[in-house]
Each structure stands twice: as structure tokens, then as C-alpha cells.
Amino acid sequence: MQNILILIGSPRRKGNTVDMAKMLTAQFEGQDFRLEMLFLYDFDISPCIDCRACKKGDLVCPIGDGMQDLYAKMEQTDLLVFGNPIYWFGPTAKTKLLVDRLRPYYGNKKLSGKKAALLLPAGSGASDCDLTIQMFRRTAEALGIELLGAATSEAFDIGDMRKDPQAAEAIRELASVITRKR
């Protein structure tokens, strides 16, 4: 059984990012996957304060907030799916807070060997996603995570993603890669 953790970085619980995540999870019906979807806006995530405690001793972040629950979930999963709408050519603030707090994993290597994928709706489509894809690619590489790919959608208003046939095809392709790379 492969565990997939989907981290939704959108404040909208019924927006395009969630539609993309649901379309992806539908691809795994009847397969040996355990899926969990979490909304980052449900967690109190403080910014990294550059205290550097994660670089010493047990190599863990000492900030006692919602990231402690997310750390445990991420360490127990096989595949991390980051669902994030593009805000001003980058990730949402909540997603960026999470990424900044991944620093302990550079030292403790607890995410090394895991896989990741991206779901990125953007008002202007794929052309607005390049910086976020690159950020996640470099982060994954630094942490020893294999980034399997990204599915994008030209979607701004709620429901736009469902009208984007290219997004549906990209999600099917991403699901196929995930299934092959288990």
C-alpha cells in the first residue's frame, strides 16, 4: 500500500486546486493507495525564524505549531502532492511558510527517497507556473525527493479547471507516472 499525502495550499476548499486533487485521486480508485488530503489553511504555520536549532542535535524544528503535525504526516507518506494555486507567479503564502519550514529535512534526511508531484492552477495557465515548479524542483533536489512532475491548469474562477481539457490530460499523465514509479 502506497501512502499519498495531498497538501492543499489554497484557502478555497472548493476551488480549482481541490478540483485538480479530486481528479488526481479519482485516477487511483481500485488501486493500492491510501490517500489523505490536508488543507494548509487549517494549520497554524509560523514562519522560519532562522534560529538554526534544526541544524544541531536531533535536527528538528523547535517551533511548536501546526508544522509538528505536518512533519509527522510527511514523514509517514510515500508521495507528497503539493496542490497550490499560483499567486503572483509563485506559491501561496501558506505553502511558502511550509516550504521554508522544511529546513530540518536537509540535515536529518527523513524525506530523502520520497516522491512528490505538483498540482498548479493559474489564471494564465502553465506560463505562470514556471517559477513555482522551479522552486519545488530545487527544494526536492536539496531534500533528496524525486519530483515526478506537475499538472497545470488555466483556471482563475472557481470551476474553470473543470473546463480545461489540457489539465485533465496532464492529471491523467501525472497519475500514470505516479503509478509506474511506486
Residue range 121-164, pLDDT digits in tens: 998 878 898 999 999 999 999 999 999 999 999 888 888 889 98
Task: Give me the torsion for CA of 45, 145, 137, 169, rounded to 10°.
Answer: -100
Kindly report, residue by residue over 52-75, the tens digit of the pLDDT. Answer: 999 999 999 999 999 999 999 999
> What's 103's domain CATH number?
3.40.50.360
Kindly report, residue by residue over 75-103, the tens digit of the pLDDT. Answer: 999 999 999 999 988 899 999 999 999 99
Q: Which three cell numbers stand for residue 139?
A: 527544494
Domain count, the chain: 1
* Residue 122 domain boundaries: 2-180
Rounded mean pLDDT of the chain? 93
pLDDT computed for residue 80 by the predictor:
97
pLDDT category at 173 given cuts 50, 70, 90 is very high
Cα angle 26-31-34, degrees, rounded to a multiple of 5: 80
Cβ atoms < 10 Å from Cβ of 67: 22
CB 118 within 8 A of CB 133: yes
